Amino acid sequence: MFEHQQNIWLESLQKQGYRITNPLKIIVEIMASSDVILNPTQVFLLAKEKNSNIGLVTIYRSMEKLEQAGLIGRVHMPDGCQSFFHASNGHQHLIICEQCGKAEYFEGDDLNPLFNRTGEQFGYQITDHWLQLFGFCQKCKEINLNRK
């Protein structure tokens, strides 16, 4: 299942002219199967477990490729914006656990009427929008309860 997803990513990268190297495969494997947002250093540490020789620079360069290819996207949080998550199908919105970074996409109502109305009201031509929810996921809620 995850393997399937990885292959889709690798094919996509190959079609776009990138070479499928071992380090890239490892990074794809990590990013395509992660249900939490990850920053370059976190990806680096996970990747080292699979190939102790991999360099942090390769992570940066590969993340850039995956982003260019539309496979991952940068996730902004109140305390930083260097984490990445696999991209969504279509334009969906993110709900993110502020404790563990677990993220999921959700479909919102159609907010375009609000966005267009607001754009007109202020004289802006709207090109994009962000909607994100922050909170505690099921697991982290339980963890926090047990701590008390």
Partner DNA sequence: TTGATTGCAAATATTTTGCAGGCAT
Partner DNA sequence: ATGCCTGCAAAATATTTGCAATCAA
Considering only 122, 146, 147, 148, the residue that binds a copy of itself (CB under 8 A) is 122
Closer of 54 and 96 to DNA (Cβ): 54
Closer of 27 and 137 to DNA (Cβ): 27
And the tokens for 79?
A: 């305390």
Residues 59-98 that bind DNA (CB under 7 A): 60-62, 64-65, 82
**All residues at 6 or more sequence positions from 25 whose CB lies less than 8 Å from its CB, including other chains:** 6, 10
7, 42, 79, 83 from 63: Cα distances, Å:
17, 12, 20, 10
Check: CB of residue 33 under 8 Å from CB of residue 78.
Answer: no
Binder of residue 125, out of a copy of itself, DNA, none (CB less than 5 to 8 A by kind): a copy of itself
* Contacting positions for DNA (CB under 7 A): 14, 17-24, 39-41, 51, 53-58, 60-62, 64-65, 82
